[in-house]
Amino acid sequence: MSFAPVVGVLGLQGDVREHVAALSAAGADAVRVRRASELDDVDAIVIPGGESTTIGKLLVAFDLLEPLQKRVRAGMPAYGSCAGMILLADRVLDGTADQVAVGGLDITVRRNAFGRQVDSFEGDIDFAGLRSPLHAVFIRAPWVEDAGESVQVLAKVGDGQAAGRIVAVRQGPLMATSFHPELTGDLRVHQLFVQIVKEQQL
Ligand code: GLN
C-alpha cells in the first residue's frame, strides 16, 4: 500500500499553485501553508519561487519565520525553488540589508547571479540520478557560489557563460534548485522530493 505524505507549499507569494499541482501529480497530498497552525499539519514544505525579500517579510508578518526555522532545524524535509533556495541558504550574497532567512542549507547563494542580460533563460542540464537531462527554466535566478562538505551537488550549468555553476543541491532532507521545475510539466524533481519525504517517514 502506498501512502501520500502531506506536503505544504508556502503560500505567501510566488508560484504556489504550480507547485501544488506538480506535488499532487507526483503523489503527495499538497496543501497551501499560510499560518503556523497549517505548518504543524504538514510532513514537509516547499518554498516556491517569487521574491525572497518579499517572502521573507511576509514570513515575519504572518508569524511563520520562527516556526518554519524550528521545523527545518528539527529535520522536516524542505525544498526551495529559486527564491526558496535563497531562503533556505545559510549565507546570501547580494541580498538586501534586512533580508531574512530560514536557513538550514550549508550553502552560499548569490541572488540574481546570472546578471541582467541573461536574467531569464532555459537550458537542458544533467541532474544526479536522472537518466535524461532536465529542462531547466531560470528566472532572475540565484546560483550556489559555495557549498559545504555535507552538501551534495545535484546539478550544474552545462555550458555558456555560467558553465559549471551549481544550480541544484541536497543536504539530507533539504533540497534546492535555482530553477523552476514546476513550470515545465516534468515531474521528476517533485517526485524526487516526495521520495525524500517518504524516506524520512520510514
Ligand atoms: N530574484 C529573486 C529573489 O531574489 C528570485 C527569483 C525567482 O524566484 N524566480 O528572490
Decide if 82 is catalytic. Answer: yes
Cell of 172: 539530507
Number of domains in the chain: 1
Q: Is residue 149 part of a domain?
A: yes
pTM above 0.85, yes or no: yes
pLDDT in tens, 1-39: 467 999 999 999 999 999 999 999 999 999 999 999 999
pLDDT in tens, 75-93: 999 999 999 999 999 999 9
Single-letter code of the amino acid located at 122: E
Cα(73) to centroid of ligand 1, in Å? 23
Q: Is residue 179 part of a domain?
A: yes
Ligand 1, from 52, 55, 81, 118: best to mutate by most atoms within 8 Å of Cβ? 52
Output the residue whose Cα is nearest ligand 1's atom 5: 83
Q: Is residue 1 part of a domain?
A: no
Q: Based on the number of CB atoms within 10 Å of its own CB, is 130 exposed (0-12), middle (13-18) or buried (19 or more)?
A: middle
Cα(141) to centroid of ligand 1, in Å? 6
Point out the catalytic residue in the list 18, 82, 135, 199. Answer: 82
The enclosing domain of 41 has a CATH number of 3.40.50.880
Decide if 19 is catalytic. Answer: no
Paired with 92 in beta bridges are 109
Q: Is residue 42 part of a domain?
A: yes
Q: Which domain holds residue 106?
A: 6-200
